[in-house]
Structure 1
Amino acid sequence: MTNKPSKTKTSYYRRLLVAHLIDTGINTPPLILETTGMPRRTLQDTIKALAELDIECTDAGGTINRSYSITSWGAINKGWIKNNLQKIKDVLEL
């Protein structure tokens, strides 16, 4: 039996990773999809779910040239994400 991370943990880490990518300039759906390899629908759901963590994400542009930006991290410490990025990627198997 392997110690697979829980769905709660992977979902949380996926949200943190996507917010981090957006905040560091990988902020369009094609760039995020290329970087993470996640399905488009998962990306859409993840971006919508950022609000559940009080991470405020705004979008600009139309359907084809949409880009995102993080306007507030709420209670999330983005320094922790930066310092633990490899751990996050390992849990998400990236």
Structure 2
Amino acid sequence: MNSTYSKTKTSLYRRLYICYLIDSGINTVPSLLEVTEMPRRTLQDAIAALAEMDIKCTAYGGTINRSYTISCWGPIRKQYVKENLQHIKGVLGCS
């Protein structure tokens, strides 16, 4: 993560990136961990915090086979995330 960005910004962008991935079909904890290279706890906390942004993320399946879907992006424009994905990934230090 780039230290020139605030924790608030990186937290927001982390959540947006996770939403984008879930919506794109990368929707299980193992696949999200592989793509994002985030610590498991950070990833799980970010998913749990989506509701604070009025993003509806629903979990399906058991603890082993759990997958997620985004049924409502709340106040976030999904198109904005798509159009700014490279910048979002850059802020997070993702390739």
Percent pairwise identity: 63
Shift of 1:3: 6.5
1:49-89 Cα deviation digits (max 9, x unpaired)? 00111110000010110000001111100000000000000
State the number of aligned residues.
93
Task: Flag the structure with more relative contact order, 1 or 2, with Cα contacts below 8 A and sequence separation at least 6.
Answer: 2
The one-letter code of the counterpart of 1:82 is K
After TM superposition, the runs of 4+ consecutive aligned structure 1 residues lying more than 3 A away are none
Q: Which amino acid aligns with 1:57?
A: C
Letter in 1 for 2:66: R
> What TM-score, normalized by structure 2, do the two folds share?
0.95
Separation in structure 2 between the aligned mates of residue 65 and residue 41 of structure 1, nearest angstrom: 17
Cα distance between partner residues in 2 of 1:49 and 1:3: 22
Question: What TM-score, normalized by structure 1, do the two folds share?
Answer: 0.96
- Structure 1 segment 19-38 matched on structure 2, within 5 A: 19-38=19-38
Residue ranges of structure 1 left out of the alignment (5+ in a row)? none
CA RMSD of aligned residues (A): 1.2
Q: Which ranges of structure 2 fall in alignment gaps of 5 or more residues? A: none
